[in-house]
Structure 1
Amino acid sequence: MIPCPLCNHQAQFFLQDKKRAFYVCPHCGLVMADPKSHLRPSIEMQRYGRAQKGAKQRQLSQFLMPLLAQINLQQSGILSGLNFGRVLDQQCLQSINEAGHSVKQYDPFFAADHSVLQTTYDFVCSYKVFEHFRHPNKEWQLLSRLVKPGGWLAISTPLMTDLRHFNKWHYKNNPTHVSFYQRQTFEYLTENSEFTLLFVSQALILMQKSSGSGIKRILI
């Protein structure tokens, strides 16, 4: 057994494939790769850099622009946001600016400007980044702090729907993917934080930070 890097409960051995061992936490539902199998930062940076281009950039833009429109329906006016974990291309940034909003960016490899982590935002989005978190509790605490009261946290990461199929899930085969989430995991996070879980699909988790107005918890 190893300690769960999200809730610190004891995680149990779950699966051994050809390259890595995986553990599952019975408390929060997180599945994690054995820390001994984590790639060296230099190798991860090289692999991660390839994902910053081409189709991934388009997918990130296609994730963020509708998200802004949806948040704007709930919260009118100029929005300030943080794109956490990846870097948007200039075309998408220009579209956001033309819509009257502002987005700062943080990427640990390619935009490591820690000053953007010293303020709070109307929204923080994280597109296919959570699966890279080696210390998800640390990142969760940071992201929670970055969201203003009443603000939004949007997370795109594929959710596991059935642990029995994990062995055949292609997503676990990427060696940079070390943390895998179930619906149970985000329910655990909302039950132990100021956030309300407003929407969950297989690849989108949308959460709102309490503004003290008694928002009801809705699961779709």
Structure 2
Amino acid sequence: MSPSCPLCGHPAAQPYHRDNFRSYHQCAVCALVFVPEQFQLSATDERAYYDLHENSLEDAGYRRFLARCAAPLVEALPPASRGLDFGCGPAPLLASMLSEAGHRVELYDAFYAPDRCVLKGEFDFIVATEVVEHLSRPGEVLGLLWSRLREGGILALMTKLVISPERFAQWHYIRDPTHICFFSRETLRWLAARLGAGIEFVDSDVIFLRK
């Protein structure tokens, strides 16, 4: 049986690509490309893979990378906004950068800052940088995040985008075993329409959804 789409729930996604490690399907409704559940890592193996990363608060290259999201977000936000860094990881540099700009930022990460009480708050902005490609249930998670945004708020996403099947087959992004959902502009426009959001493609991999 064809797997159901984890973003929109459509019951019959079609094969998109296969490599030596896993297969990938694409939804005919929202165009999400995703890895079926049987090829996904366990939570223990996923955490072990993340623990290999060496990002730190002092990493200048990592700061430059995140600035492509942080700088336009700071320009768009009112002073002293309240935000959430969702999927902050063990070194929440983005939250630190936004705090330096005068904003108050809460942290949540399923592995490194797992207090779900934070997700009951209301926020002027939510950032999820290099997060959505890891989600096994992106529809559920993005719906939750959207519900926690105040009117006028911004959901800032950072993720590499699917361009074409040919480029996908050679794409370094799919080599990471924790990457299981792959968005395209078409997918994000579908998502914006579903949420009733305004959408802005700020950079090649930075997207703002406005409530």
Would you call these one fold, judging by a TM-score over 0.5? yes
TM-score by length of 2: 0.88
Per the alignment, do residues 39 and 68 of structure 1 end up closer, same or farther by CA in structure 2, a change over 3 Å counting?
Answer: closer
**Secondary structure at 1:3's aligned position in 2?**
coil
Asked whether the equivalents of residues 14 and 28 of structure 2 are also in contact (C-alpha less than 8 Å), the reply is yes
In the alignment, the residues of structure 2 paired with residue 132 and residue 59 of structure 1 have an alpha-carbon distance, to the nearest angstrom, of 22
**Structure 1 residue 200: Cα displacement:** 4.7
Unmatched segments (≥5 aa) in structure 2? none
**Secondary structure at 1:70's aligned position in 2?**
helix
**Secondary structure at 1:36's aligned position in 2?**
helix
AA aligned to 2:4 is P
Asked whether the equivalents of residues 93 and 103 of structure 1 are also in contact (C-alpha less than 8 Å), the reply is yes
Q: State the superposition RMSD in angstroms.
A: 2.4
**Structure 1 residue 145: Cα displacement:** 1.1
Alignment correspondent of 1:187: 189
**Secondary structure at 1:143's aligned position in 2?**
helix
Deviates more, 1:102-111 or 1:164-173: 164-173
AA aligned to 2:107 is Q
Deviates more, 1:95-104 or 1:12-21: 95-104
Task: Return the match for 2:131 from 125, 129, 141.
Answer: 129
Per the alignment, do residues 149 and 57 of structure 1 end up closer, same or farther by CA in structure 2, a change over 3 Å counting?
Answer: farther
**Secondary structure at 1:50's aligned position in 2?**
coil
**Structure 1 residue 161: Cα displacement:** 1.2
Q: Output one character per residue of 1:6-48: Cα deviation in whole Å (capped at 9) or x when no partner.
A: 1111201222210101111121110111210111110100111
Alignment correspondent of 1:15: 17
**Structure 1 residue 57: Cα displacement:** 6.0
Task: Return the match for 2:140 from 133, 138, 148.
Answer: 138
Asked whether the equivalents of residues 83 and 105 of structure 1 are also in contact (C-alpha less than 8 Å), the reply is yes
In the alignment, the residues of structure 2 paired with residue 88 and residue 51 of structure 1 have an alpha-carbon distance, to the nearest angstrom, of 9
Alignment correspondent of 2:4: 3
In the alignment, the residues of structure 1 paired with residue 117 and residue 67 of structure 2 have an alpha-carbon distance, to the nearest angstrom, of 24
**Secondary structure at 2:44's aligned position in 1?**
helix
Output aligned runs, 1:77-92, within 5 Å.
Answer: 77-87=79-89, 89=91
Per the alignment, do residues 41 and 123 of structure 1 end up closer, same or farther by CA in structure 2, a change over 3 Å counting?
Answer: same
Alignment correspondent of 2:30: 28
Asked whether the equivalents of residues 57 and 88 of structure 1 are also in contact (C-alpha less than 8 Å), the reply is no
**Structure 1 residue 54: Cα displacement:** 4.1
**Secondary structure at 2:29's aligned position in 1?**
coil
Q: Output one character per residue of 1:149-204: Cα deviation in whole Å (capped at 9) or x when no partner.
A: 10111110000111222111111111111001111100001111131102253211
Q: Output one character per residue of 1:120-163: Cα deviation in whole Å (capped at 9) or x when no partner.
A: 11110011011101111111111111211101111100001112
Output aligned runs, 1:103-182, within 5 Å.
Answer: 103-182=105-184
Per the alignment, do residues 68 and 118 of structure 1 end up closer, same or farther by CA in structure 2, a change over 3 Å counting?
Answer: same
**Secondary structure at 2:51's aligned position in 1?**
helix
AA aligned to 2:5 is C
Asked whether the equivalents of residues 89 and 111 of structure 2 are also in contact (C-alpha less than 8 Å), the reply is no
Per the alignment, do residues 55 and 176 of structure 1 end up closer, same or farther by CA in structure 2, a change over 3 Å counting?
Answer: farther
AA aligned to 1:8 is G
Alignment correspondent of 1:207: 209
**2:103 aligned with 1:101:** yes
Alignment correspondent of 2:199: 197
TM-score by length of 1: 0.85
AA aligned to 1:165 is R
Per the alignment, do residues 120 and 58 of structure 1 end up closer, same or farther by CA in structure 2, a change over 3 Å counting?
Answer: farther
Per the alignment, do residues 204 and 94 of structure 1 end up closer, same or farther by CA in structure 2, a change over 3 Å counting?
Answer: closer
